[in-house]
Amino acid sequence: MTQWTVERLGRKGDGVALAGDARALAALTLPGEVIEGEAVDGRIAAPRILSPSPDRVRPACPHYRACGGCSLMHGSDEFLRRWKVGVVEQALQAQGLAAPIAGIHVSPPRSRRRAVLSGRRTKKGALLGFHARASEVITDIADCQVLRPAIQDALPFLRRLVVAGGSRTGEMSLAVTETPAGLDVAVTGGKPMDSQLFQSLAALADEGDLARLSWDDRTITRRPPALVMGRARVVPPPGAFLQATPEGEAALIAAVRDITRGAGRVLDLFAGCGTFTLPLAEQAEIHAVEGLAAPLAALDAAARQTAGLRRITTETRDLARRPLLPDELRHNAIVIDPPRAGAEAQAREIARAQVARLAWVSCDPVTFARDARILAEGGLDIVRLFVVDQFRWSPHVETVAEIRRR
């Protein structure tokens, strides 16, 4: 059996293990550990730990070795804080950039208010959970350390939804969001809706006291699943993108507020349902731009029903294909929260514009660093950076950067 030494963790959290000139990825390992195992196609499937790291801890979850929902629960909290900051710093360094870290937020255990679960009907019932590590197999979960208690307690009920409308040959996706009105469940991949299935689902929605149940393009709304965003209450479209934890969302909003403080006119790009638009509109006029019409309609409806907000205008526009041009970017500050692919095209236009201040929110350090390099070449530098970890025990990390023109 070959012995390996783990040099570091890769971006996805697997250990990069070395044995002479050989290199392989080893899951569930930490830097400095000596492990034993054989590499197949560049991966050590089940490494045996010979010399554990002092940063290694006992995972709290009984499903950890099988479930792919968390991949870093074997590392201490302090190690994970250091590692995630390091991921951000290394991504910037690869582009010749650096930034002072102004703060780090880590969401607590059992704080995920939104999760996308996979489900499949079986002979004896249903599987419901996350995919196994590097697999399409669903790990059935009974107790999850990241889900909010309301979602955790609803797992048996959600399995009944899978039994009622799932298939033994296909996989369902259940986007489950905790709201003050109850759970909002959006299902895709289930059986086609017919009158009998609709009646069964309506009865289940009543029994489970759901706020809303969406089944592909059909919706059963018992109570509007409104979410608080600043002073407003927003009813997002089914399955809409939302921040994963209330604590993480609060950290992002606090950083963006601080960066844009004093700006009278703010441009919010990739605005979604209004995570930043609605809180910022308490102090500034906002123009919100989003590629999808449904989230903007939800934002607009909430704004119209909320007293005390400054003027909000909206625009549906695909910013990847048709970014705002320099003469459209004339605002006191810009907030931008692009998807994982980043906003390269928009960054090039911002670099050409007379933009003085940006709050750049990112969920991918590599694409953020690429876009920040474009901005730097146009005279815009990162002044400070906030690191936000909403996805505890995963390799995922988010940032908010204050960027100013030199």
Q: What is the pLDDT of residues 201-255, one digit of tens each?
A: 999 999 999 999 999 999 999 999 999 999 999 999 999 999 999 999 999 999 9
Concerning whether 273 is annotated as a catalytic residue, the answer is no
Residue ranges of the chain assigned to CATH 2.40.50.140? 3-56
User: How far apart, in Å, are the Cα atoms of 338 and each of 100, 291, 341, 366?
Assistant: 22, 11, 7, 13
For residue 134, what pLDDT band results from cuts at 50, 70 and 90?
confident
Q: What is the pLDDT of residue 135?
A: 87
Q: What is the pLDDT of residue 93?
A: 98
Residue 169 pLDDT > 90: no
Q: What is the pLDDT of residue 45?
A: 85
Q: What is the pLDDT of residue 78?
A: 97
Q: What is the pLDDT of residue 133?
A: 84
DSSP, res 328:
G
Token couple for 102: 């102004």
Instruction: Please give the average per-residue pLDDT across 387-396, as a whole number.
Output: 97
Q: What is the pLDDT of residue 324?
A: 98
From the candidates 67, 70, 273, 363, give the one annotated as an active-site residue.
363
Q: What is the pLDDT of residue 326?
A: 98
Instruction: Please give the average per-residue pLDDT across 104-108, as a whole number.
Output: 98
Residue 100 pLDDT > 90: yes
Q: What is the pLDDT of residue 127?
A: 96
How far apart CA 233 and CA 214 sit, in angstroms, is 20
Token couple for 168: 């033994």
Instruction: Please give the average per-residue pLDDT across 12-27, as a whole number.
Output: 96
Residue with more model confidence, 356 or 45: 356
CATH code: domain 3-56 is 2.40.50.140
Q: Which of 321, 377, 325 is nearest to 353 (CA)?
A: 325
Helix/strand number for the chain, H first, E second: 9, 24
Question: Does the structural domain 114-179+181-225 have CATH classification 2.30.30.830?
Answer: no
Residue 146 pLDDT > 90: yes
Q: What is the pLDDT of residue 27?
A: 93
79-106+232-405: what fold? Rossmann fold (3.40.50)
Instruction: Please give the average per-residue pLDDT across 272-281, as a whole number.
Output: 98
Residue 307, burial from CB neighbour count under 10 angstroms (0-12, 13-18, 19+): exposed
Instruction: Please give the average per-residue pLDDT across 120-128, as a whole number.
Output: 95
Instruction: Please give the average per-residue pLDDT across 319-324, as a whole number.
Output: 98
Token couple for 340: 């994982």
Q: What is the pLDDT of residue 258?
A: 98
Residue ranges of the chain assigned to CATH 3.40.50.150? 79-106+232-405
Q: Which of 127, 122, 180, 114 is nearest to 156 (CA)?
A: 127
Residue ranges of the chain assigned to CATH 2.40.50.1070? 114-179+181-225
User: What amino acid is encoded at 64 in this protein?
Assistant: Y
Instruction: Please give the average per-residue pLDDT across 295-304, as a whole number.
Output: 98
CA angle 23, 29, 34 (to 5 degrees): 65
Mean pLDDT computed over every residue of the chain: 97
Phi–psi pair at 207, nearest 5 degrees: -65, -40
CB atoms inside a 10 Å sphere around CB 101: 13
Q: What is the pLDDT of residue 293?
A: 98
